[in-house]
């Protein structure tokens, strides 16, 4: 059916137009001079901002499907290296420059020697038992990264029908108990209060920087904070969203907005765009480290360890601590964490208030 071009208007994103009904999107692009287009229907219950973001994701999916169909001929002799290069090509628009560099370095250092020259169809499950022995000197998180890169490689081969199931089995993937791996901090409750006091003292007249560090104090990663948009904050129900593209669980995560963060944000509230106008905050650490009783190892990541140590001492269960940190594996049910993260952060926020009172 022909597309009624007059019913669609441009968005700020190239190759995406929106219908006058606000629901339908026209996705179009060119590959090798050939035009491709399709109509995609968004979910009407979502906000306009979310619908446009989802249309961006759909455009990438559509583009990748066409690229693979038109330009990539399945090769029954394809090696792991061949499929790694295909994965890199697929991820060019999704991995940041830093991620791309890190992943390439990891692949070349730990994976290539063992698997690179082997044909995909010849890789057997037993090879991963041997592979794990070559990387067992690494931290569990670093070991697990190998499979975060290997699994999508074999998934591509499955799509090409070169293999029909992945040779990677569940027991091959190192299990990481993230909460238990956090280093316990001595005198955590005392340091927790000292850090909170320092953040509010140093940035008493600077709500922008105060909000950055308070987000970190309540468990957020630095990158999660610095990429937040005003559209991600819901002041009506006191919640906020960490988007899939920056979350480590590859899904949107909703958290309860702490009162102190909310108050700081309201001092410079805007309607759209980036909340925080900095790319790096390293130079801001020293201002807090110089305050009495704040350890010199103070960083964003250290604050996550501090929160776990201090709040666990207050009796907060590991399930809630995992949810606060944005994890999905603490020996608890994955579904529970994905559905109850907002409720769990209500628990940790209340425990924090009691500790700071």
- Give me the residue spans of the domains in the chain: 5-71, 80-176, 180-356
CA distance 323 to 247: 13
CA distance 255 to 244: 13
Q: What is the pLDDT along the chain (357 residues), one digit of tens a residue?
A: 567 888 999 998 888 999 999 999 999 887 766 788 889 999 988 888 899 989 998 888 888 777 766 544 446 678 999 999 989 988 887 887 778 888 999 999 999 999 999 999 999 999 999 999 999 888 787 888 999 999 999 998 888 778 888 999 988 988 765 554 556 678 889 999 999 999 999 999 999 999 999 999 999 999 899 999 999 999 999 999 999 888 777 788 899 999 999 999 999 999 889 999 887 888 898 899 999 899 988 989 889 888 888 888 888 887 787 888 777 654 433 333 333 566 667 778 887 888 888
**Helical H segments across 246-329, by residue range:** 259-266, 282-289, 300-313, 318-325
Element (H, E) at 237: none
Architecture of domain 180-356: Orthogonal Bundle (1.10)
pTM over 0.85? The answer is no
Please name the fold of domain 80-176.
DNA polymerase; domain 1 (1.10.150)
102 closest CA partner among 158, 65, 142: 142
Q: What Rg do the C-alpha atoms of the chain give, in angstroms?
A: 23
């Amino acid at each position: 059916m022909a597309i009624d071009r007059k019913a669609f208007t441009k968005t700020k994103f190239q190759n995406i137009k929106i219908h006058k009904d606000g629901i339908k999107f026209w996705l179009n692009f060119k590959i090798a001079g050939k035009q491709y287009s399709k109509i995609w229907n968004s979910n009407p219950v979502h906000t306009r901002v979310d619908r446009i973001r989802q249309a961006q994701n759909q455009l990438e999916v559509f583009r990748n499907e066409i690229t693979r169909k038109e330009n990539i001929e399945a090769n029954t002799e394809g090696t792991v290296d061949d499929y790694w290069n295909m994965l890199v090509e697929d991820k060019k628009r999704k991995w940041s420059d830093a991620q791309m560099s890190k992943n390439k370095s990891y692949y070349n250092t730990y994976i290539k020697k063992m698997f690179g020259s082997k044909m995909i169809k010849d890789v057997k499950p037993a090879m991963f038992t041997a592979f794990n022995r070559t990387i067992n000197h690494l931290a569990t998180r670093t070991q697990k990264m190998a499979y975060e890169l290997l699994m999508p490689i074999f998934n591509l081969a499955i799509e090409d029908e070169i293999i029909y199931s992945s040779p990677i089995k569940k027991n091959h993937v190192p299990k990481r108990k993230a909460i238990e791996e956090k280093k316990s901090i001595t005198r955590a409750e005392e340091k927790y209060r000292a850090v909170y006091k320092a953040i509010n003292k140093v940035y008493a007249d600077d709500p922008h920087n105060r909000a950055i560090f308070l987000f970190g104090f309540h468990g957020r990663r630095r990158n999660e904070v610095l990429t937040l948009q005003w559209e991600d904050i819901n002041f009506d129900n006191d919640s906020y969203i960490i988007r899939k593209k920056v979350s480590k669980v590859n899904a949107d995560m909703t958290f309860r907005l702490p009162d102190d963060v909310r108050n700081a944000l309201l001092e410079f509230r805007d309607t759209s765009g980036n909340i925080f106008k900095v790319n790096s905050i390293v130079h801001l650490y020293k201002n807090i480290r110089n305050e009495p009783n704040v350890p010199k190892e103070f960083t964003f990541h250290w604050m996550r360890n501090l929160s776990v140590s201090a709040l666990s001492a207050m009796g907060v269960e590991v399930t809630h601590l995992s949810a606060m940190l944005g994890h999905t594996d603490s020996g608890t049910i994955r579904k529970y964490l994905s559905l109850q993260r907002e409720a769990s952060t209500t628990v940790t926020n209340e425990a924090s208030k009691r500790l700071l009172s």
